[in-house]
A and B are shown apart, each in its own frame.
Chain A
Amino acid sequence: MASISYLRSSDESRILGLGDLGANGMGIPIGKLSLYCAAGGIAPHRVLPVVIDAGTDNEDLLDDDFYMGVQKRRLKGPDYFQLVDEFMQAVKHRWPNVLVQFEDFSSDKAQILLNHYRDDHLCFNDDIQGTGATTLAGVLGALRAKGETVNDLGNQRIVIAGAGSAGIGVAQVLMQAMLEQGRTPEEAKDCFYVVDATGLLGVEQNDALSPEQRTFTKEVDGGMPLDEVVKKYKPTMLLGMTGVGGLFKEEIVREMAEHCERPVLFPLSNPTIKAECTAEQAFEWTNGKCIFASGSPFDPVSIDGKTFYPTQCNNSEYTYTIHTHDTAHRFTCGIEIICL
């Protein structure tokens, strides 16, 4: 049984910003599972870190005599999916109730795998679903800070700056939540104004957009720039996922505070230089009225003697120091959670 600890399965094709680590990415699932134990109260002998070693495209590792993974190029296409499928089947056969957490699969494969397995395996993808749920929780928390309840999500007017995968991903999560709260798809859609570099997404752009982006196009005012959208539609929430530092200019932020008692400002891009505005700017320009969460860390801000604590809302950076434990006692019980 203990041999299973060396079953190095997971495709570490996308680890944070670290690139292709091949089998050396083993530390990531170990770290994630340590959090299951520390934060979730799952017994350590009930979790199993796995790396699917589908090869690596990292030239340094391919030449490294001490690299412990398979020194071949990454499997591609059907061969790759066959390998993952064999793993999924085997794992379900061995531990029928196991929860598989997918992590750090490159984005072209992550969604395909999740869609394929989510209906008949107990599994989820933390990069897609975990991050989505966390952002949703941040937005719902902001509603409570405004003095509303979490069920008021459908009453918001939400401007999303950035129509890339991050921006659209957040829009989809929020829209799904509105549907769960009993709104119709049309009502939910009306809450969103998605703006990218060419302005508000309009129906006339439909041919050039992906199906996901097309959900959020507007009948009128296509191409309207961000500041005018904010002025005209008076949003209650302004979320930024553009990676364009300083995009939320003073007049935009002030306009938010003008028409809104407690405007919600979430510049979610990181690192700090790419944040759409800083915490200090947001609190200063709104006289401390805004509810602020960011993708980059900011220090607390003091205005008129009152201190405001900016929340870091996604991709927060923590450093964990992990001692590897003696694994001898690890496989005494059934495994409950596998982290890929």
Chain B
Amino acid sequence: MSQFKECNLFLTLKLFLLSVYIFPGLGLGATLCGATRVSDKMLYVAAEALANFVSDEELGEGKVFPSLTKIRDVSRCVAVAVIEQAMEEGQAAKMNGVKIDDLDAYVHKKMYDPVYVPLVEKREISI
């Protein structure tokens, strides 16, 4: 019974993963450009982009991954690398014939931001 409750109302999960640095950006890039498959080279450029994202300051402290607080920037950077690779392989179905000058800005624009959008305009009330 407790399992049932937990699943439906309030779910505390322990996830063991660090691939959180890779897969969100990989998924974002692959779906944005309409890739037809995930190639080995795409995984490689994703890893390369992640490694190159680590700042010199962080490297100096002995860190080999960027701070998790920058995860959205990491994902964007990984997504851009994946899209560029897909375009090179001729796999970016949604990008064919589309010329994008600033891929980074394009991906940024396409990313979802979890902000509250008011449904109605606020008004002055006196209660």
A positions within 8 Å CB-CB of B: 16-17, 24, 26-28, 30-32, 35-44, 66, 68, 97, 99, 101, 118-124, 126, 129-134, 136-145, 150, 176-177, 180, 291-293, 307-324, 336-337
Is B125 part of the contact surface with A, judged by Cβ < 8 Å? no
Contact of B47 among A134, A293, A314 (CB under 8 A): A134
B26 at interface, CB cutoff 8 A: yes
A122-B35 in contact given A99-B27, A134-B19, A308-B61 (Cβ < 8 Å): yes
Further contacts, 18 of them, CB under 8 A, given A40-B23, A141-B54: A17-B16, A24-B7, A26-B7, A31-B13, A36-B28, A37-B114, A41-B113, A126-B17, A130-B17, A134-B18, A137-B51, A140-B50, A144-B59, A293-B64, A308-B62, A310-B62, A315-B16, A336-B27
Q: Which of B9, B23, B48 is the one whose CB lies under 8 Å from A324?
A: B9
The answer to whether the Cβ of B1 comes within 8 Å of any Cβ in the partner chain is: yes
CA distance A86 to B113 in the complex (A): 35
Closest Cβ neighbor of A97 among chain B residues: B34
The answer on a CB contact under 8 Å between A316 and B46 is no
In the assembly, what is the distance between CA of A132 and CA of B74, in Å?
Answer: 17
Q: Are B24 and A150 in contact (CB under 8 A)?
A: no
Q: Across the two chains, which residue of chain B brings its CB closest to A124?
A: B38
Chosen A-B contacts, 19 in total, with CB atoms closer than 8 Å, are A28-B13, A40-B75, A41-B76, A41-B110, A118-B37, A118-B38, A130-B19, A134-B21, A137-B64, A138-B64, A140-B48, A140-B51, A141-B50, A144-B59, A144-B64, A180-B44, A308-B61, A322-B13, A337-B27
Are B31's CB and A336's CB within 8 A?
yes
Docked-complex contact A97 and B31, CB < 8 angstroms? yes
Assembled-state Cα–Cα distance A99/B65 (Å): 26
B11 and A41 contact, CB distance less than 8 A: no
Q: Is the CB of B37 within 8 A of A40?
A: no
Binding site for A on B (CB under 8 A): 1, 3-4, 7-28, 30-31, 34-38, 40-41, 43-44, 46-48, 50-52, 54, 59, 61-65, 71-72, 74-76, 79, 93-94, 110-114
For B113, the chain A residues whose CB sits under 8 A away are 41
> Which 6 residue pairs across A and B have the least CB separation, nearest first?
A40-B24, A41-B111, A141-B64, A140-B51, A130-B19, A43-B112
The answer for the CA separation of A144 and B65 in the assembled complex, in Å, is: 11
A35 to B27, CA, bound (A): 11
In-complex Cβ contact of A144 among B3, B10, B37, B54 (8 A):
B54
Is there an interface contact between B46 and A133, defined as CB atoms closer than 8 Å?
Answer: yes
Instruction: Give CA–CA (A313, B16) in the complex, Å.
Output: 11
Asked, given contacts A35-B20, A134-B47, A137-B21, whether A180 binds B40 with beta carbons under 8 Å apart, the answer is yes
Output the least CB separation between B65 and chain A (Å): 6
Whose C-beta in chain A lies nearest to the C-beta of B4? Answer: A66
A145 to B65, CA, bound (A): 11
Alpha-carbon gap, A132 to B44, bound state (A): 10
Residues of A within 8 A of B41 (CB): 180
Contact at B52–A66, with CB atoms within 8 Å?
Answer: no
Q: Which of the residues B23, B47, B54 comes within 8 Å of A101, measured between beta carbons?
A: B23
- Cα distance A322–B9 when bound, in Å? 9
Q: With the chains together, A323 CA to B15 CA distance in Å?
A: 15
Verify B112–A37 contact, CB threshold 8 A: yes
Q: Which residues of B contact A124 (CB under 8 A)?
A: 23, 26, 38, 43
Q: Which residues of chain B are near A311, meaning CB under 8 Å? A: 62-65
Expressed in whole angstroms, the minimum distance between the Cβ of B101 and any Cβ of chain A is 21
| Residues of B contacting A307 in the complex (Cβ-Cβ under 8 angstroms) | 61
Cβ distance B40 to chain A, nearest Cβ, rounded Å: 6
Given A122-B38, A319-B14, verify A40-B47 contact (CB < 8 Å): no
Determine the residue in chain B with the shortest Cβ distance to A18: B14
The chain B residue with its CB closest to the CB of A118 is B37
- CB atoms of B7 and A323 under 8 A apart: no
Q: How far is the CA of A311 from the CA of B51 in the complex (A)?
A: 13
Q: Is B37 a contact partner of A35 (Cβ separation < 8 A)?
A: no
Distance in angstroms from A119 CB to nearest chain B CB is: 6
Kindly provide the distance from the CB of B127 to the nearest chain A CB, expressed in whole angstroms: 28
Given known A99-B31, A130-B19, A137-B22, contact A317–B14 (CB-CB < 8 A): yes
Contact B43 A133 (CB under 8 A): yes
Contact B31 A42 (CB under 8 A): yes
Residues of A near B16 (CB, < 8 A) are 16-17, 315-318
Nearest-Cβ distance from residue B124 to partner chain A, whole angstroms: 30
